[in-house]
Amino acid sequence: MNGSITPLAIFFASIFTGNILLTNYLGMCSFLSVSKELKTSTGLGVAVIFVMATTTPLNWLVYQHLLIPFGLEYLRFIVFIIVIAAFVQLTEMTIERYSEPLYQSLGIFLPLITVNCAILGVSLFMVIREYSFFTSFLFGLGSGIGWFIAIIAMAGIRQKLRTAKIPPGLEGPGITLIIAGFMAMAFMGFSGMIALS
């Protein structure tokens, strides 16, 4: 247990100071490719929040009650991925069946993020940092919100950039990565508030 910070602090820290995307650079691929449009970014961001907030405690249960008792901690990579994939698939099917508007705005993005490394990353951090069940949930939720904030900020910037003159060699991923770097530095400004171990 990490006694020095409260679960609430971890929640806020995972949004700002320990932003999964900007401090660990996880989940970059979909961040770079989808951040062109604010609307699609929002959809993807919400999907990430949902999946992180649900799969992290789910994986906590699997880890604590299945892997640890059998001494199989080293299998966590493969087990976490299977659990995430199955859960996302089930959620997509459910949404598709029962809510047309929700499927339009969220469901269609779910298959895209099954293999998002940020999602697996959050589950693995939860293990390394020895969070409790409740803290894991808050950590997953916070990380999702952090990813969401980062991608909509980027989408907003990229929409403004459309009319800007960018040197041809830097167009596309080039300028996006540079901006992501600036954003990461800006988020570092929060580090005085709370620190994530």
Partner 1 sequence: MITSLLVSIGIISLISVFLAILMVIADATIGNYGIVKISVNDKTKEFEVEGGQSLLRALNQEGVFIPSACGGRGSCGLCKVQVIEGAGEYLPTELPWISEEEKKQNIRLSCQVKAKTDMAIVIPEELFYVKEYSTVVESIKDLTHDIKEVRLLLKDPPSITTKAGQYIQFEVPEYGDLDESVYRAYSMASPPGDSTHVELEIRLVPNGICTTYVHEVLKEGDPVTINGPYGDFFLRETENNIIFIAGGSGMAPIKSILLDMEQRGIQRKATYFFGARSKRDLFLLDKMRELEEKMPNFKFVPALSEPLEEDNWEGEVGLITDVVRRMVEEAPSSEAYLCGSPGMIDACIKVLHELKVPEENIFYDKF
List interacting residues with partner 1 (CB under 8 A).
40, 43, 62, 66-67, 70-72, 75, 78-79, 82-83, 86, 89-90, 93-94, 96-97, 100, 104, 108
Report in angstroms how near the CB of residue 58 gets to partner 1 at its nearest: 11
Dihedral (CA of 66, 121, 48, 17) sign: positive
Phi, psi of 165 (to 5 degrees): -85, 115
Do the beta carbons of residue 119 and residue 48 sit within 8 Å? yes
Minimum CB distance to partner 1 smaller for 9 or for 83:
83
Minimum CB distance to partner 1 smaller for 8 or for 82:
82
Report in angstroms how near the CB of residue 137 gets to partner 1 at its nearest: 21
How far is Cα 68 from Cα 159, in angstroms, rounded to an integer?
47
Report in angstroms how near the CB of residue 94 gets to partner 1 at its nearest: 6
Structure-block tokens of residue 155 = 């989408």
Dihedral (CA of 141, 144, 146, 149) sign: negative
Report in angstroms how near the CB of residue 161 gets to partner 1 at its nearest: 20
Report in angstroms how near the CB of residue 11 gets to partner 1 at its nearest: 29
Report in angstroms how near the CB of residue 90 gets to partner 1 at its nearest: 5
Do the beta carbons of residue 92 and residue 110 sit within 8 Å? yes
Minimum CB distance to partner 1 smaller for 90 or for 186:
90
How far is Cα 110 from Cα 119, in angstroms, rounded to an integer?
12
Minimum CB distance to partner 1 smaller for 90 or for 185:
90
Minimum CB distance to partner 1 smaller for 83 or for 155:
83
Minimum CB distance to partner 1 smaller for 115 or for 179:
115
**Which among 29, 20, 21, 41 has a CA at the least distance from the CA of 109?**
41
Distance of CA 53 to the CA centre of its chain: 9
Q: DSSP assignment of 26-48, as one string?
A: -SHHHHHHHTT-HHHHHHHHHHH
